[in-house]
Structures are given as C-alpha cells and as structure tokens.
Structure 1
C-alpha cells in the first residue's frame, strides 16, 4: 500500500482525522474504480486524494482530473 506523503499525513493530523482505509487503497489504483461508501464516508476526498498528491509533487500541463457528480 502506498504511504501517504508527510504533508498529507500532517493535514489529516491537524484536522484530528485519520484517513479511511478506502482512501489509502485508492492511492495504489491505476485503473477506473467505483467507490461506494455511506454519506460522510470520505468518498470525495478518496477520489481527489491521488490527484492532490500527484499535483503537489510535480507541475502538470492540461487536464489532470475530471470530476463528474450526479
């Protein structure tokens, strides 16, 4: 399992939170996935966390992440 980078671990700690297992599991995914979790289960952050980590480490040109919400 991919380790959460320090700056993101620090952010979770500052909020008094711990990442949910499904949020960490999505860091290792390279294909499309469907995540189903209850309201308040951290789905949105799970979806964006890999992009946020990727963008924090290197500049990027063009479209990086597409978010579609019902």
Structure 2
C-alpha cells in the first residue's frame, strides 16, 4: 500500500477547494510521518450532489519511497 502527496491536482482542479495539510512532521531517524489534512468538494462533482468536507489524520512509518519514471 502506498500514498502520494502531490499538490498538482489540488492546484489545477476546481472541484477540490480549501485543501490544507497541517501539523506535518517527519522524523528521518525513525521514518515516522504524521500530518492532518482537510478539503472541500463541490456537490456538482460527486454522486451525492451534496458539498463534502473531508478531513483526516495520518500517522505512519514510511518504509521506502516509490518513484515513477517522471521523477
């Protein structure tokens, strides 16, 4: 399992607004990564038709970085 943090889609996609990452920490000695995030999605761009507010907290140990050919 993996995830990627990338501001590209948030900066160019008007469906997602108010995207924020806060409380970001990364410990290079232990590879412990944690942060909180939040965003809003316009109701016109999801199946419910309702505006969505999404938020969460990530607290993980990063084992390795997976790169793509574009990096």
Q: TM-score w.r.t. structure 1 length? A: 0.28
Greater Rg, structure 1 or structure 2? 2
More strand by share: 2
